[in-house]
């Protein structure tokens, strides 16, 4: 298990502090008066209209505006092993629910391999009727499916188990992304190898061993019955082929299951009749409970939510209206409801769910708020389609103890002080 996370190696507030006051209605009213008198004379020609713009093809592959240069992945920690690394999604600066490919969080156990798609093969073998090797061309010629799903590392937010870490939302919740994934259904591939022939001696429908072609050869056993109706073997994310760091040319997507089961650089699927007890499901990715027993195969990521604006590092510059916005998700279905509190959890009210609500996908919520200038504490609480309600930290610790870093999904509070400073305290 990785050592506990120390203070971030990047300052908790970003280089360019975002002052949320630009969005405040209070300042809008003041600036509207100035703007109204401005409008009595003809509008100036915009300086950017006086000169030709940059030529086309300056960037054959487009890049963000240089003004957004600090919206990048960051890491909360230095990893002790070569190739082991993670980088986190800048949640506070994103809008809607999809994560741009260049900002999808990364977690590698053995570095990013360089794989030639023409040489890459996917083997499907074990308890199947006709084992087969698939080329990328074979897979691209099969019926495809595109679905929007979140991906969350089971270690996400592990730094809050012992109370507020002081970190900003990127470093507390940024092992979280959401993409439209395109590929072939696992069930279609299993039909292609003639179906599974599991012996059925008490193992309920068989398990699937998935293995990556990276230096860590990430290997997990998955219960077939629970994933067959939604697992995908994907070659594309958000409309383009997978990025190298996200599994190019092929990865497994198991919607709602903890990040590490979504094996990247996928080279092998073996149908077996019982879990293989690999390193990643025994020594790693099990949770030691307070009573000394271990919680193993805790696949689903439980319902969770977090406020992304305002969040630590932001400063509210004027009193008045602020939207409280953030993300909610559940590994067990859809988000049914998000409530927010601005008084530390004493009173709650329903937030709006903005945009389409997809199964096992990030869902954007927004609530209206007037900041009167006093101290406040903003929180969000998700309820999913199973009726499960996101727990408080005290409830979570009572159930799981403090021995494990994994599957932390408690309600997260951000404090706003009288100066408008937002902190994770």
Ligand X SMILES: Nc1nc2c(c(=O)[nH]1)N[C@H]1C(S)=C(S)[C@@H](COP(=O)(O)O)O[C@H]1N2
If residue 234 lies in a helix (H) or strand (E), which one and from where to where? strand 232-237
Positions in 232-261 near Mo ion (CB under 5 A): 259-260
Compare residues 325 and 405 and give the one whose CB is closer to Mo ion: 405
Contact code string over 230-259 relative to ligand X, x by CB under 6 A? ---------------xx------------x
| Total of residues contacting ligand X (CB under 6 A) | 21
Other Cβ atoms less than 10 A from the Cβ of 372: the count is: 8
We find the least distance from the C-beta atom of residue 254 to ligand X, in angstroms, to be 10
We find the least distance from the C-beta atom of residue 73 to ligand X, in angstroms, to be 10
Other Cβ atoms less than 10 A from the Cβ of 346: the count is: 8
Query: Are 153 and 87 within 8 A, CB to CB?
Result: no
Regarding 183 and contact with Mo ion (CB under 5 A), the answer is: no
Other Cβ atoms less than 10 A from the Cβ of 215: the count is: 15
From residue 370, alpha-carbon distances to 26, 28, 135, 349, 376 in Å are 10, 14, 57, 14, 11
Contacts with 392 (C-beta within 8 Å, 6 or more apart), sequence order: 345, 410, 411
We find the least distance from the C-beta atom of residue 213 to ligand X, in angstroms, to be 7
Distance CA 372, CA 321 (A): 9
We find the least distance from the C-beta atom of residue 3 to Mo ion, in angstroms, to be 16
**Which three-class secondary structure string do you get for 203-221?**
CCCCEEEEEECCCCCCEEE
In the DSSP assignment, the letter for residue 282 is T
Positions in 104-143 near Mo ion (CB under 5 A): 107
Compare residues 134 and 257 and give the one whose CB is closer to ligand X: 257
Question: Collapsing DSSP states into helix, strand and coil, what is residue 43?
Answer: coil
Positions in 96-125 near ligand X (CB under 6 A): 104-109
Regarding 176 and contact with ligand X (CB under 6 A), the answer is: no
Contact code string over 140-159 relative to ligand X, x by CB under 6 A? -----------x-x------
From residue 385, alpha-carbon distances to 147, 338, 382 in Å are 18, 12, 10
Identify what 310 binds: ligand X, Mo ion, none; CB under 5 to 8 Å per kind: none
DSSP 344-366: TTSS-EEPEEES---TTS-EEEE
Regarding 331 and contact with ligand X (CB under 6 A), the answer is: no
Contact code string over 56-95 relative to ligand X, x by CB under 6 A? ----------------------------------------
Regarding 365 and contact with ligand X (CB under 6 A), the answer is: no
Regarding 153 and contact with Mo ion (CB under 5 A), the answer is: yes
Distance CA 320, CA 28 (A): 10
We find the least distance from the C-beta atom of residue 144 to ligand X, in angstroms, to be 20
Pairing of strands 352-354, 85-87: unpaired
We find the least distance from the C-beta atom of residue 301 to ligand X, in angstroms, to be 10
Compare residues 109 and 358 and give the one whose CB is closer to ligand X: 109
Q: Which stretch binds ligand X (CB under 6 A): 117-125, 181-189, 262-270, 402-410?
A: 262-270
Task: Write out the residues near ligand X by the rule CB under 6 A.
Answer: 104-109, 151, 153, 177, 212, 214, 216, 218, 245-246, 259-260, 262-265
Residues that bind Mo ion (CB under 5 A): 107, 153, 259-260
């Amino acid at each position: 298990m990785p050592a506990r996370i120390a203070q971030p190696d990047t300052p908790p507030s970003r280089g360019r502090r975002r002052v949320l006051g630009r969005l405040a209605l209070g300042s809008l009213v003041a600036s509207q008066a100035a703007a109204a008198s401005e409008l009595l004379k003809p509008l100036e020609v915009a300086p950017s209209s006086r000169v030709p713009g940059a030529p086309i093809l300056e960037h054959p592959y487009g890049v963000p505006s240089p003004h957004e240069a600090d919206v990048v992945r960051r890491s909360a920690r230095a990893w002790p092993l070569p190739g082991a690394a993670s980088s986190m999604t800048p949640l506070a600066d994103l809008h809607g629910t999809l994560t741009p490919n260049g900002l999808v969080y990364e977690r590698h156990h053995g570095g990013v391999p360089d794989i030639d798609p023409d040489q890459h093969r996917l083997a499907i073998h074990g308890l199947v009727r006709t084992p087969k090797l698939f080329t990328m061309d074979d897979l691209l010629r099969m019926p495809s499916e595109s679905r929007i799903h979140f991906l969350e590392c089971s270690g996400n937010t592990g730094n809050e188990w012992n109370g507020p870490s002081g970190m900003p939302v990127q470093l507390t919740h940024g092992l979280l992304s959401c993409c439209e994934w395109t590929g072939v259904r696992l069930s279609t591939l299993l039909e292609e190898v003639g179906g599974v022939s599991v012996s059925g001696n008490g193992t309920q429908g068989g398990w699937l061993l998935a293995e990556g072609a990276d230096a860590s050869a990430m290997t997990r056993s998955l219960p077939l019955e629970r994933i067959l109706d939604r697992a995908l073997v994907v070659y594309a994310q958000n409309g383009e082929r997978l990025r190298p760091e996200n599994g190019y040319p092929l990865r497994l997507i198991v919607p709602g299951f903890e990040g590490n089961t979504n094996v990247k650089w996928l080279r092998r699927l073996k149908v077996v009749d019982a879990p293989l007890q690999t390193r990643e499901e025994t020594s790693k990715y099990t949770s030691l409970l307070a009573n000394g027993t271990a919680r193993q195969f805790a696949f689903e990521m439980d319902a969770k939510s977090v406020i992304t604006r305002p969040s630590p590092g932001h400063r509210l510059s004027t009193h008045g209206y602020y939207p409280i916005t953030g993300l909610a998700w559940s590994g067990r279905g859809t988000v049914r409801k998000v409530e927010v509190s601005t008084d530390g959890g004493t009173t709650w009210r329903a937030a709006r769910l903005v945009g389409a609500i997809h199964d096992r996908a990030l869902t954007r919520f927004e609530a209206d708020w007037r900041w009167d200038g006093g101290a406040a504490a903003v929180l969000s609480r998700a309820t999913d389609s199973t009726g499960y309600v996101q727990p408080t930290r005290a409830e979570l610790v009572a159930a799981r103890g403090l021995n494990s870093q994994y599957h932390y999904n408690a309600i997260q509070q951000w404090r706003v002080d009288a100066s408008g400073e937002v902190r994770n305290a």
